[in-house]
Chain A
Amino acid sequence: MGLKFDWEKNKEKIHELELFIEENKNKKGALMPVLHKAQDIFGYLPLEVQNIISEGLSVPLSEVYGVATFYSKFSLIPKGEYTIGVCLGTACYVKGSQEILDKVQEILNIQVGETTADGKFSLQATRCLGACGLAPVMVINDEVYGRLTPDAVEGILEKYK
């Protein structure tokens, strides 16, 4: 996958991030909010972006990297166009969400944490989404699919292909 960071193409995004860093750099504990913002803007946190944050906040790059890799919400690789999250919270698990996840993996031929070769889908196993009344649950971007059976998975994914 083309992981090279394109400075020219990302010019506006970088500017937006730098503005945010400027506004927040005197705030105590600013690193987390800045990482959130960067993740929102770029969709992931490449080394180049971590460098900008490190310099802007005067925090060592090693620390930025340490924090970025600690939390599961932050990603160092780009996500697919659609992020699929299959809930593996307890309520969904006891109602069979593992089978839903297996089915998605089988159809897309990727494992959890991976992105399909065409950059279309990323797959995540999420913890409780709080929609336990609909268990088992799967989320594609912001769309929630509840009361799933393994049979229903293919038809849902088809909509996004």
Chain B
Amino acid sequence: MNLYRAHVLVCGGTGCHSSNSDKIKEKMEDRIKEKGLENEVKVVMTGCFGLCESGPNVVVYPEGVFYSHVKLSDVDEIVDEHLLKGRVVKRLLFKEAVEENIIKSVNEVDFYKKQTRVALRNCGIIDPENIEEYIAYDGYQALARALTEMTRDEVIQLVKDSGLRGRGGAGFPTGLKWDFTKKASGDKKYVVCNADEGDPGAFMDRSILEGDPHSVLEAMTIAGYAVGSDQGYIYIRAEYPIAVKRLQIAINQAREYGLLGENILNSGFNFDIELRLGAGAFVCGEETALIESIEGKRGMPRNKPPFPANEGLWGKPTLINNVETYANIPVIFQRGVDWFRSIGTEKSPGTKVFALGGKIENTGLVEIPMGTTLRDIIYGIGGGIPKGKDFKAVQTGGPSGGCIPKEYLDTPVDYESLTKLGSIMGSGGMIVMDEDNCMVDIARFFLDFTVDESCGKCTACRIGTRRMLEILEKITSGKGEPGDIEKLEELANNIKDSALCGLGQTAPNPVVSTLKYFRDEYEAHVYEKRCPSGHCRRLVTFVIREDLCKGCGLCKRNCPNDAITGEVREAHVIDPEKCIKCGTCIEKCPFGAIEKR
């Protein structure tokens, strides 16, 4: 085996891939060859580094030099200067990786230093398309131990003792689920991985599948052994082509190495995994709808009970966990229950991965111990709000979650605390909003999503959410009437009580939580016909400030409806009757003289 003096890791997650990181890798390899370094330097395409904001990202080891926003045209310079001559290319370093002329390695940067990487342990480090790299990082040892040294009950006991809870949203104890499925009677059982990550703005599971697919395969195989199943399915969104491709490669490699298939590791245990693609239905993230979809039907949820553990896929006992939950399993076996329980809180041990997005400096994936405060995540790791704007709220849990205001930024994050605030942990989307975001409009946005994604099976969700959306549209377009807010509340309660599945029962959450913390914004819309954040166009007027206008005429020339009048070098005026509130003038004004009121 060749020993390389340097490794160049290029991020191959979807975010960086979208900015041509695959071409950067190719060009890097070509240049390295040109310079005759191909036996000294190896280029590896890894999974997501997590810091998507600064992509495409490249890290050079052993030093851990962290380059960000790398362009194709920068590749030659990195090879010639850094790899050939040993001089770090300072202008390409990640902005926080240089402090008073001292270059910090990637692990020293605040964004990474404050994280604890358990589920993401291999993401951005190993080549996800090479099983040997996973094995070199202790991969498949947990499976070997389970199959050769442990009984099925011991495996389940270990998962129970770890206190691991489902990372898909509700936080059900994983060990209990395994136990129920094992105890259920049936001639055939199934193990399913829920990789239908539908929450818009969340991409934790995708990054795990893209960066470390074998950890999920290994965990599913262990689960198969524990519950007595020989067939697994991974149900994954078709919108994740890179993850699908890498998973298929991983499955093929595992079969080749005898880690999937018949008589795994000579233990007499058989297990195989098949991929099934979703087709763009959010409701299929609900476990019974997902099962229907694998069966080839419309993805409509079933009544529970019976739960999947007793009657799941094709009526057989079925264990169903999400991607991140599985990704935790192998490392719990390797490092032990005590280690795992030492991270996080008493009731919620371990870590949680969040997809940090919206109005935040460092958009990306972060993994933190449970119990970390929202403030630490948003300001410590996320770097705070850009452009000096004020924080308004953070939305967790996607369309099933809620908005948490400033007063609760010091809340430690775990399943119970977020539920108490009227939101949920959810799968891990965390969208930050600033003073410019209108909370009524955000509620409308989520309801619009739910209406679109409601499967139509139960009346409460199908009709109820649509009525809520209509009221919200009325309010945001300035036609709100007294009584509308109360109607929203009544509908929300009724839907919560009567919808069939998790999607419907939680659909009113975005409205309920914004009503709880931002009722004044709703009232301003309804009673004063005013949008406090200036977002809802029909409720704002555009005004030119006389003191700032220099009379350059740019706004006048660009106004599509000739609503602006004024002489050169004199303050201009907008005619509110003619103004269509398109915002063109604000974009064009070089002096910031136009305001929304």
Contact = CB atoms under 8 A, between A and B. Distances in A.
Interface stretch (A1-9, A10-18, A125-133, A153-161): A125-133
Contacts of A151: 587
B494 interface: no
A21 to B, nearest CB: 13
Nearest to B299: A70
Given A91-B357, A130-B206, A28 B314 contact: yes
A36 B279 contact: yes
A94 B442 contact: yes
A135 interface: yes
A29 B276 CA distance: 10
A60 interface: no
B238 A90 contact: no
B338 to A, nearest CB: 35
Given A28-B295, A90-B445, A130 B395 contact: no
A131 B14 contact: yes
Interface string B453-486: 0010000000000000000000000000000000
Contacts of B561: none
Contacts of B295: 28-29
Interface in B429-465: 429, 431, 433, 437, 442, 445-446, 449, 455
Contacts of A144: 18-19
B358 A90 contact: yes
Contact of A67 (B239, B296, B429, B587): B296
A72 interface: yes
B282 interface: yes
B433 A94 contact: yes
A19 interface: no
Which of A31, A33, A59, A94 is most buried by chain B, counting CB atoms within 10 A of its CB? A94
Nearest to B199: A128
A89 B399 CA distance: 11
A131 B239 CA distance: 12
A89 B200 CA distance: 4
Contacts of A29: 276, 294-296
A146 B280 CA distance: 22
Contact of B429 (A72, A74, A90, A92): A90
Interface in A95-144: 95, 99, 126-135, 137, 144
Interface residues of A, number: 42
A76 interface: no
B74 to A, nearest CB: 18
B249 interface: no
Contact of A32 (B200, B293, B429): B293
Contacts of B202: 128
Nearest to B207: A130
Contact of A131 (B18, B276, B398): B18
A3 B297 CA distance: 27
Contacts of B14: 129-131
A134 B445 contact: no
Interface string B71-93: 00000000000000000000000
Interface string A26-40: 001111110110000
B186 to A, nearest CB: 15
B201 interface: yes
Contacts of A71: 278-281, 299
Contact of B395 (A70, A90, A99, A149): A90
Interface of A: 28-33, 35-36, 59, 63, 66-67, 70-74, 88-95, 99, 126-135, 137, 144, 146, 149-151
The 10 lowest CB-CB distance pairs between A and B, nearest first, are A133-B52, A91-B357, A71-B279, A31-B296, A89-B200, A90-B201, A144-B18, A72-B280, A73-B279, A29-B296
21 contacts: A28-B314, A31-B296, A32-B277, A32-B296, A63-B297, A70-B298, A72-B279, A72-B281, A73-B238, A90-B201, A93-B445, A126-B239, A127-B282, A127-B449, A128-B201, A131-B18, A133-B15, A133-B55, A134-B19, A135-B358, A146-B18
Given A128-B199, A133-B52, 10 more contacts: A35-B279, A90-B395, A90-B445, A91-B358, A94-B431, A130-B240, A132-B355, A133-B357, A144-B19, A149-B587
